[in-house]
Structures are given as C-alpha cells and as structure tokens.
Amino acid sequence: MGLEIERKFLVNHAKWAATKKPKREFYRQGYMLTDPNKTIRIRATDTKCFLTIKGKTEGATRAEFEYEIPKEEAIQLLDMFAVSNLTKYRYKVFLAEKLWEVDVFLGENEGLILAEIELSREDETFDLPDWAAEEVTGVNKYYNSNLSTFPFNRW
C-alpha cells in the first residue's frame, strides 16, 4: 500500500512575495468523490495527469495510490465526472534537501497560499522556511478536496 506522510502550513504572503521562486505550474484538480474516509481525484498539469485515490488521514499519514493517465482522458474525466474542482499554481521549492510544494490558489480560493512537505515518517525533522507560518496539518478545511466544495472565499 502506498502511504503519504505530509505536513501542511499556511504561507506568509509578504515573505512569499519577497522570495525568489522557481517556475510555477498550473494545476486543475477535480474530485469524483470527496468523503472523510476517501477521495478520488483527477489532476491535470501542463505536463502530466494523474488519477489519485486517498484514504482517511490519521495524524499526518494516509493511504495514497497515484497513477499517471493520458491528458485527453484526464480532461474528459474532469469535464464529465468531477463533482467539484479547483485551480492553483504550484511552485516546487527545495530547501535543505527537502521538497516543499507551495500552492497559490485561484478562483474561489484566491488569497490562500499553502505549503506542503512530504516526509518519510511522521516524526522526521526538517527546516521550516521563513515564509511558512501556522501549521494546519489535519485541519480539514485546508484539504484540497474540502477547498473544492467549500472554498476559502466563503469562510
């Protein structure tokens, strides 16, 4: 079984704006199922597309199965079967040999910036970037699947 161990942080807007950034990539995500115990997501980027199935989060860990799919099929699945969706730009930032994924949300989630780091174990230590603010790991409203149905601008 695949596992995802991930911690999530709000991003300080002013510090992020002052940070030199790598090239961003546009993401379109749609959810075929959003349930507290499982989600089924389709993700389309400029270069690759994925079908992802995630289980219930326990702490910072959950089951995750991800499969690359053809772009044409991803777009059809998004258009025909997604019950909710969101868009964002993703920046991949390497810090102290760790990958941080910083999501700048668009549309109804505009104004929200989140950073995630994937770990090999829950108690793994890592350096926190200066632009990382409050930790929101395990706060349900910050899951992308929840942002797709109850967007940031409606809070």
Using CA atoms, how far residue 135 sits from 11, 26, 40, 131, in Å, is 9, 24, 25, 12
CA distance 116 to 101: 5
Cα dihedral sign, 66-72-74-76? negative
- Residues with a catalytic annotation lie at 31
